[in-house]
Amino acid sequence: MNALHLDWLADPPKLPADTPRLDLTFKLDLRVDGQAPHAPLVIAVGVVGEMIGAPSRVLVGLRDAIREALDDQDRLILLGEEAPSPFDFKGALSAGAEALRRINPEFNRRILLLVHGQELISPGSYEILTKQGIGLDVITVDPDVEQGAFVRFAALLGGEAMAVNPESALSLAEGRARALKAARYPGARLTLTPLGPTTLQRLYRLSPSPVFLGDIPEGPVSLDLGPLAPPPSWIITAELPRLHVGLYEALAAELTWLEKGEPRVERQTLLLESTAEAAELRAVRADVIAARHLAQATAWPEEILMALRRADGRQIIRTLDASLQHFLAFEAFDKASEIEGLRVRFLRRGMLRFQDINRLRRLLASVTTPPL
């Protein structure tokens, strides 16, 4: 039988008497070239505030398909009667969401899911959790499977995806679940809506770990804040058309969370002033650009995967070269030499394994900059 199993961890901490508010910070880099029709805009959004909120309940779920690979099954209990298919990731999420439905929404609810990694993932399947304000972390027990989709899913729901060997999966899951139990604001979400002249392009999570979240479709973007330690932040690339002198609304941000069961909202509007002063155009936000480089690099494993599908070796080499340069620029020499090895291996064999891509993804996510 294939099923989702769960384990309730120890009692969560008590709700603090007076929970403080959350707030947002913005940092921008906007470079205007007098000739270009559009100006690239980089927006760094961060969450600030006291990182203590409501207690958490963490559901640790295990797919039957990987049970045999793990040695300790006693602490895991059956989640539901209806077993989803072994390759149905959405079914596993639905079962988890159903199990957490009865938990008081004042509590922070998260699922930590152990999967073998070969599940079929359809875009949008995470919305089951989004609607209920449930966060997600994923542990895949086969390091040889492509992990990108899990990384993006988990990041969109404020979590992390990790790949481990079956032997260390349970201990990792337990450690992670305890860390997640640290309280946070339940249902905390950030919604970003482009206004006026702004066209949003790509979205990256910068912290807790950099992840490329994808191209931004038209309309608002909704993000789960996840655990607030370290404080989450995102990088958004956008562009602006040439603007007349004046003040413009560029972006609306809405932060929502539950405080003592009551919904709280913090709204901010990002305003841009277009001036005629050339001197104003030379202000470069170096820390935002550095953060953008870090975040942008996390899209490269996806680009390599696409190039592998197209058998576009030249693009793969270009992307590996860019990764190598990236590590050198951030003076991560050991990582640079790993990429050089990968590059030569690809030139010799003409192929890369999923394990290599996962390794590249982890390496790229491990470079950090000073906090924004």
Partner 1 sequence: MTISKSCPCGFHATSRFCPQCGRELRVVSKASPWPTVGQRLDNLDPPLTLRARCPAPMGARRLRADAGARRFDVFITPPSDPEGALVERQRARAKLGERLLPSVSQDHEGLIYEITELPKGQSLRALLEANVEAPREALMGLLTRVFRPLLGLFAELHAQGAFLGGLDPDDIFFMEGEAAEGPLEVALLAPPRVHVEGAQASARPKLRQTTPGFSAPELYGRCRGGLIDARADVFALGMVLYYILAQRPTLFEAGDCQRRLPSPRVYADAPPDLVAVCQRATASLPLRRFADARALFEAFELALTVTDARRRGCSLPLKLDIGHELHIGLLKGQFTPQNQDDMFLGWQEDARLGLFLISDGVSISDYGSGEIASGAVRLEASRTWARLMGEEAPAKPPPSIATLEDRARVLRRMLNRANHRIAALLHQEIPRFIGPPEGIMAATAVVGLLKDNTITLAALGDSRIYLVRDGYIVSLMPEHNFATQLMQMGQPPAIARQVQGANALVRCVGEFEKGEGDRLKPVLLQPEILHLNLLPGDTLIFCSDGVPDYAAWDEEEAEARICAEVEEADDALTAAFELMVLANRGGGGDNISCIVLRCYTEERRA
Residues in touch with partner 1 (CB under 8 A): 29, 195-198, 243-244, 246-250, 271, 277-279, 282-294, 320-322, 324-325, 328-331, 340, 343-344, 347-348, 369-370
Pick between residue 106 and residue 254 the one whose CB is nearest to partner 1: 254
Pick between residue 14 and residue 244 the one whose CB is nearest to partner 1: 244
d(CA 238, CA 268): 18
What number of other Cβ atoms are within 10 A of residue 338's Cβ? 18
CB-CB contact of 317 with 345 (8 Å): no
Pick between residue 15 and residue 243 the one whose CB is nearest to partner 1: 243
Rounded least distance, CB 290 to partner 1, Å: 4
Pick between residue 78 and residue 284 the one whose CB is nearest to partner 1: 284
Tokens at 199, concatenated:
């066209």
User: Please, what is the end-to-end C-alpha distance for the chain in angstroms?
Assistant: 48
What number of other Cβ atoms are within 10 A of residue 81's Cβ? 8
d(CA 164, CA 240): 43
Pick between residue 306 and residue 329 the one whose CB is nearest to partner 1: 329
What number of other Cβ atoms are within 10 A of residue 147's Cβ? 24
3-state secondary structure of 305: helix
Tokens at 166, concatenated:
């079956």
Rounded least distance, CB 299 to partner 1, Å: 16
Pick between residue 38 and residue 285 the one whose CB is nearest to partner 1: 285
Kindly give, in sequence order, each residue whose CB lies less than 8 Å from that of residue 127, ignoring residues fewer than 6 positions away: none
Instruction: Spell 258-285 as b/e; 16+ CB within 10 A means b.
Output: bbeeeebebeeebebebeeeeeeeeeeb
Pick between residue 87 and residue 248 the one whose CB is nearest to partner 1: 248
Rounded least distance, CB 331 to partner 1, Å: 6
d(CA 128, CA 172): 25
Rounded least distance, CB 245 to partner 1, Å: 9
d(CA 86, CA 92): 9
